[in-house]
Structure 1
C-alpha cells in the first residue's frame, strides 16, 4: 500500500521557492502568547488574485507548514499561535457533528463561529511567516459561470492557484496547483479525539463526536472496478465526512453519488452572476 503523503512534494517545493530576504524580513519568528507582533497591527485581507506571486507562494508554503507540522513541534518553533491544519479541520467538523445540533451553521452563530475559526487560521499562518499580512480570501463569484475571471488567466481552478476544477489524477485527485497532492489525514484519537491536546480546547473532540469516516476500499483499488485489496487489509479511517478512498484531495463536482450532488458545498459549478 502507498503511504499517505506527509511532506511537501519536491516539485512543489521548487515551485514555491522564495527569494532570499534580509534579516529585517525574517520568517517564522515566534510571537508571544500575549499577542507579540500581532498586537495593534491593522490587517487588510486581499483576494487570492490580488496577491503578488511572491506573497502567493509565501501563503501556500505557510499552509503546507500547518499541514505537515504537529501542534507540539509547531508551537516550539513558531509560538503559541500555531495550530495544526487538521486540528482546525477537526474544530469545524466537530461543530457539524455536535449531537445537540450543528453549532457552527444554520443559525446566527454561523458568522461568529467562522470568524473565530478563520482568525485562528490567520494567526497560525502569520506565526509561520510574519511577512504574511493577513489571510487571503476567495471571491467565488469571479469564477462563476458568468464571472469576470471565468475565461481568463485569473480563473482560480488552474495550476497557478487551486488546481483543476475536476481532479486530473487517479480517482479525480488534484495533482496540479499550489495544493496538489494535499494529503488527507488518517483519524487518530490521540491527535484529534478524547485524550488529545485538542480535547482541552474542544468539548467535541473530548467527547469524540467526530471520528472521521472509514474509506470504502484500499488505496490501491480506489477508483477501480473489479479490484481486490491485499489479504487482511482493513480499510482506514480518514479525516473526512464521507467514505471516499483517496489519500489526497479529490474533486469530481459532477459525480452524482458525491456529497457535492446535494449542492451543500465543495466545488460544484457556481451559477450565480458575479
Structure 2
C-alpha cells in the first residue's frame, strides 16, 4: 500500500531531507525521493483520473480524454532518483497551464462539460494545481539550496498522425523559455543523448524547438522563478503506442521505457560530474 501524506508532511520531509515515496492525500500525484541529487524527473500528464463529480458531467469519454494525455511517460522516468508523477487528467486541471487558466471549458475544439462547472468545482481544481506547484517549489528550492542549481526533466508525449509532416522528430526539446546561455552545454548533451538512444522498432531522431518550443507552465514556472534551474521540456512522439486506439506497441514501448530511463540516468551523471564542476 502506497504511503499517503499531506502537503505539509511532504514539505516537512523535503525540508528535513528525508528520502521517501508517497502519494499525496487525495491521490493527485506521487513523489519519490530516493536520494537528494540536483535533478528531478516529472511526468505531469501521465495520469487520467477525473474526480467523480466531474466525470459525470464530462462530454468526453475516457478514450477521448486519453488521446490528449501522455500515457506511459511516468514509466519513462520511474527508475530515476527523484520523480514527480501526476495521476489526474489534464481535463480536470492542466498542469502545463498557469493556475488561472488550468481549467478548460473547451479544449482542442471540443466542448468538455454538459453543464458549466460551478465556481466551487473550478476552485477545487485550481487548488489542486496550486498545491502541485507548491510541491515543485519545495523540491527545486531544496535542490538549489544543497547544490547551487538543478535540472528538471519535464516529460511529455505528442500525437503526430494529425500533422501533415512526415519527418517529425521522435524527441523534441523545447527551450524557448531558457534565459541563460550557461545551460547550452547541458541542452546540447541532452539532445546528443536522446539522438544516441537505440530503441527497438524505430529510428530515433531528436530536434530542438521543431514542433514544440517548451512554452508549458512547468518550464515557465521554474525559469521565471529561479535563475539556477533548467527545465528540459521533452516531447516524445507517440511511436510507442497507437495514438488513435491507445494500444501500446509491444516492441517499441518496453525498449523505449528501458532506454529512456537509462538515458536520463546517464545524462544526470554527466551533469553532476562534468557540468556542475
What is the TM-score of this pair, normalised by structure 2? 0.28
Q: Greater Rg, structure 1 or structure 2? A: 1
Point out the structure with the larger strand share. Answer: 2
What is the TM-score of this pair, normalised by structure 1? 0.28
